Structure 1
Amino acid sequence: MNKLNVTKCSFLLCLGFSIIICSVIYLRVGKTTDPNSIEPFGCKPLPNQCQAFLSSTDNVAEWFQGNCQLQGYILNSHRNCYNLTRELHFITRPLSREEEDYPMAFIITIHKELEVFVRLLRAIYMPQNVYCIHVDAKAPWEYQAAVQKIIGCFQNVFLSSRSEIVTYAGFSRLQADLNCLRDLAKSKIRWKKVVNLCGQDFPIMSNLELVQYMQSQRWRDRNMTPGTKQPVSIKQRTEQQHLEIPGSHVKALGRKKSPAPHNLQVYFGTAYFALTRGFVDFVLESTIARDLLEWSRDTFSPDEHYWVTLNHVEEAPGSYVNGNWEGDIRAIKWSDQEGVTHNGCKGHYVHNICIYGIGDLPWLINKNSMFANKFESNSFPETVDCLEEWHRQKVLSQSSVPVEPPWLLVTKSNSSSSS
């Protein structure tokens, strides 16, 4: 009898463990297959307005994008990196030997607009390149966690080793780029040139076109820092001392600064650049660059004079001492240039810069700059939708390798396919 009781107890114990294990498996499977969970597929149809810009989409109304609530999807997804990168449509192979032989480096500084950032990253992502992401230290933790999760799936994408509290027009914005440059200088990937971006940029050129542009006769051995000698109207930026209030604003102190070190002629230009690797070493190691950096700490918007001033130093590698506004780095519609360089903003202006609407796409496509700025997913989502699909179609049409299905951004709905 005792032997029978022991056998019964053993059976019941095994049965109990089996029920527990099956329950756990059921709950895990049920959680990942819940029809109400966030899925990247078929979230929204491609806008009808895209029809005018796309060449290989017969009926836009039948096509759906794989973009929906990206932050929630990334944070809540239980998929491994292999599936995550496929479902987010990242290109996973070099598309040509020419691109593979010319790896590039990118700096992306971000603090909001996660959806635009993910779509920017996948638009410029190539496995032979390297990417440094600087996330503003004051960004919400959910945002930082989502960024960390997505870039953790790539060996050639990393967070800046030091994060700044970035202030508009402050020294911190320049420091953020310098932090990434220092990290990129240590990269094992032997990149040829580095380009800096912000999270509200989007490419117009494909990666192949960027490589060809960088290797053109004019730019092969030169840095691209569009700008000119500092106009009298903005000399107070560097002749008067300023104080950065971290995360808030920059205010003038009303005190005069000393002249720039080494008798440097101060230039004024864009904060965006394309720099040779030799120039980056010069920036990080030379006394001239270090002294100019220290002198720039109490100036207004130092990133708009630092790069272009150093690029006019004759001994700097890749310098362009006779350069002016050459280099089509950014397509930007400034409000004060309406009717002169562009036909007006079809979206709306914020701080005198156009947030692009769908009506701005013909101008952007025809201009064919390296990148365009600025985009907002909330204000004009269809603009990014159409531009992204137009750009991906161009990228894939130039590929020298077979196109893989996960690289396609839009797919036909099941209903339209069956009909």
Structure 2
Amino acid sequence: MCQLEGTKCSFLLCLGMSIIICSVIYLRTRMPTEPRPLEPQHQDPQPLEPPSCRPFSAECKAFLPGTEKGQEWDPHGCQVERLLLKGGLQCSDLIRDLHVITTPLSHEEENYPLAFIVTVHKELGLFVRLLRAIYMPQNVYCIHVDAKAPLEYQEAVRQLVSCFRNTFLSSRSETVTYAGFSRLQADLNCMTDLAKSEIGWRKVVNLCGQDFPIMSNLELVRYMQSKEWRDRNMTPGVKQPTSFRHRTQLQHIEIFGSHVARKLGLKKGPPPHNLQVYFGTAYYALTRAFVNFVLKSTLARDLLEWSKDTYSPDEHYWVTLNNIKEAPGSHIDGGWAGDIRAIKWRDQEGRAHNGCKGRYVRDICIYGVEDLPWIINKSSMFANKFESNTFPEALDCLEQWHRNKVLHQATVPIEPSWLLATLSNSSSSYFNSSAGA
């Protein structure tokens, strides 16, 4: 019995010692080797530093002043998409961080407000850069977002637009099909909204999300008020060539959000009111009186109804109406006058341009940086097309060149937040010294 009691005591002693030793080892392994400061509870993670902007390419430096003296432009306006998608920003901070111009840059521009229709469906960053390039507080902007665009994209555009009193989303959104009637309807939706605007805009220009301006706002105003265009609409085009008549003589059907197909063997009737059909660009600059005519005229409505089953109706609708004497500001047989877009078409290579330095998509050049000399030397209002993912350096360079021009022409002091880049060893005085020039 005593021997049993002794064995039991030894076992309990060993078990206790084992527990103590294991506890010490556990506590030592859990203790940090160096003391760390206490972290506050429920602290939000700190935002990561934004990646630095791309430096301007060697080809770009030829268009930027100061670089011939060895100075460098330091870009800091490139994180546009990140600013929108992270959310939580106050509008005042967003406008500042996007380097948006917030004051009319001249009395000349303030007294001649323009309207813009911008149709978008992708490339959020490119759209934001386009908007800040054309934005002026005296103008008005209608943004049509394709109904099939991702919800995140739609919400980001809605957030941006809500920060400007003179910028709004179209009251009706279309599911746009390439070359379909829905593309024309999208513009008309914005026109209906713009006709109600209290801003006294004088002319309206339409853009897509892959356009970018060549002219400054001041140059646009002066071009619109020039002797040739002061009271006229700009719809470049000619009487419909024979090779394009199938577009309006044969019936087509729009496959919802996908493509346009020809209805086999089905011919259309003649255009209403014995109209001569013209063919031209889908882009225009229209007087406000002409817009009212389009929205209210029986003739315009009849042509619109007739155009619903045609191919790419926006390429005949505007120019056909602009060749009617009754239309305000009409330009009868004006031909291709009106330098609205700089476009490199594949079939014009070697004649109208020196080839595409980027890549062709649907026979239209997506510009590379080596296309910039051709673009900048054109007298066009806008250039088309750009892609931010494939050739970002081209847009970076054109954007900085354009902002430099805009600020150089200003007659008011330049705000530091308007600068998209700063010249090394310099400041906004580079622009302020030339204000009013």
Q: Report the TM-score, using the length of structure 2 for normalisation.
A: 0.85
Match of 1:36 among 48, 65, 83: 48
User: CA offset at residue 321 of structure 1?
Assistant: 1.1
User: CA offset at residue 61 of structure 1?
Assistant: 4.8
User: CA offset at residue 38 of structure 1?
Assistant: 4.6
Alpha-carbon RMSD? 1.7
CA distance in 2, matches of 1:164, 1:23: 49
User: Any gaps of 5 or more consecutive residues in structure 2?
Assistant: 1-38, 426-437
2:155 maps to a residue whose letter is: A
Q: Which residue of 2 aligns with 1:190?
A: 200
User: CA offset at residue 160 of structure 1?
Assistant: 0.3
Q: Which residue of 2 aligns with 1:329?
A: 340
Q: Which residue of 2 aligns with 1:156?
A: 166
1:322 maps to a residue whose letter is: D
User: Any gaps of 5 or more consecutive residues in structure 1?
Assistant: 1-21, 415-419
Q: Which residue of 1 aligns with 2:149?
A: 139
CA distance in 2, matches of 1:236, 1:45: 49
The answer to whether residue 235 in structure 2 is matched with residue 225 in structure 1 is yes
CA distance in 2, matches of 1:151, 1:23: 37
Please give the per-residue CA displacement for 1:216-252, whole angstroms capped at 9, x wherever unaligned.
0000000000000000001010000000001100000
Match of 1:48 among 55, 58, 77: 58
CA distance in 1, matches of 2:163, 2:49: 21
Match of 1:378 among 386, 389, 394: 389
Shift of the 313–131 alpha-carbon distance from structure 1 to 2, 3 Å rule, reads same
Is the CA contact (8 Å cut-off) linking 1:64 and 1:413 kept in structure 2?
no
CA distance in 1, matches of 2:47, 2:122: 29
Please give the per-residue CA displacement for 1:20-71, whole angstroms capped at 9, x wherever unaligned.
xx979x83xx55xx241658xx433333332111114555656133213x33
Instruction: Give secondary structure in 2 for the equivalent of 1:367.
Output: coil
Q: Which residue of 1 aligns with 2:417?
A: 406
1:176 maps to a residue whose letter is: A
Instruction: Give secondary structure in 2 for the equivalent of 1:319.
Output: coil
Is the CA contact (8 Å cut-off) linking 2:66 and 2:72 kept in structure 1?
no
4+ residue runs over 2 A deviation: 42-49, 56-62, 70-73, 411-414
User: CA offset at residue 130 of structure 1?
Assistant: 0.2
Please give the per-residue CA displacement for 1:151-196, whole angstroms capped at 9, x wherever unaligned.
1110101000000000000000000000000000000101000000
Instruction: Give secondary structure in 1 for the equivalent of 2:144.
Output: strand
Match of 2:139 among 129, 144, 152: 129
Please give the per-residue CA displacement for 1:342-383, whole angstroms capped at 9, x wherever unaligned.
111111111000000111100111112100000000110000
The answer to whether residue 256 in structure 2 is matched with residue 246 in structure 1 is yes
CA distance in 1, matches of 2:393, 2:53: 14
Bigger mean CA deviation after superposition, 56-65 or 346-355: 56-65
2:94 maps to a residue whose letter is: L
Match of 2:127 among 111, 117, 134: 117
CA distance in 1, matches of 2:343, 2:130: 17
Is the CA contact (8 Å cut-off) linking 1:47 and 1:60 kept in structure 2?
no
CA distance in 1, matches of 2:336, 2:126: 28
Q: Which residue of 2 aligns with 1:349?
A: 360
Is the CA contact (8 Å cut-off) linking 2:340 and 2:380 kept in structure 1?
yes
CA distance in 2, matches of 1:206, 1:412: 21
User: CA offset at residue 97 of structure 1?
Assistant: 0.1
Q: Which residue of 2 aligns with 1:166?
A: 176
1:318 maps to a residue whose letter is: G
Higher Cα Rg: structure 1 or 2? 2
CA distance in 2, matches of 1:218, 1:38: 48
Q: How many residues align?
A: 385
Q: Which residue of 2 aligns with 1:208?
A: 218
Shift of the 253–373 alpha-carbon distance from structure 1 to 2, 3 Å rule, reads same
Q: Which residue of 1 aligns with 2:370?
A: 359
Q: Report the TM-score, using the length of structure 1 for normalisation.
A: 0.89
Please give the per-residue CA displacement for 1:67-111, whole angstroms capped at 9, x wherever unaligned.
13x333212143211111111000000000000000000000000
